[in-house]
Amino acid sequence: MNNVAEIENNNVYINYSESKSDEFILKQNIDALVQSKNETIQRIAQDLVSIPAALVRLKWQNRREIYPLQVKEEIYGATIAAIIEQHPELREKIMGRLEANYQHLVSRESATLRWSRRLSEGEYRTSTVSTVSAAAKEAPAKASSKGK
């Protein structure tokens, strides 16, 4: 008999003053933005992990690549120890060469970190990529159109 559907959310606000209506809409928008911000903060906070935990996770994920390097390092260490044991006079020469190679690797790694930091901060500009301004593009186009 009664075919009227029940309305669950009837948030209709009738107001004759436009300034009050605008204030109400602004308040609703601010509330929605605050709620969205809080949800985003909660989502990001849940994703944050401590640095040691992240390193452990990376080490576990890359264990197949790390383990052979550790084995290789142990084999090289054992080989160098055996050579030094058989030829003690080569100890200083071997250690000097190892130290030089180590310092070379450290300097390359620090240079890579410096470049990465500069790139992330927007300070580093490559010399191989040239930027062309809009004015420079228009100048040759005008010169070529004058010649026609």
Beta carbons within 8 Å of 66's beta carbon, 6+ residues apart: 59
The whole-number pLDDT of residue 83 equals: 94
The whole-number pLDDT of residue 68 equals: 86
Mean pLDDT of the chain: 77
Q: What is the pLDDT of residues 19-70, one digit of tens each?
A: 667 788 888 889 899 998 888 888 777 766 677 777 788 888 888 888 888 8
The whole-number pLDDT of residue 98 equals: 92
The whole-number pLDDT of residue 117 equals: 80
Who wins on pLDDT, 125 or 17? 125
Prediction pTM value: 0.40
CB distance 15 to 24 below 8 Å? yes
CB distance 84 to 91 below 8 Å? yes
Confidence of residue 97 (pLDDT cuts 50, 70, 90): very high
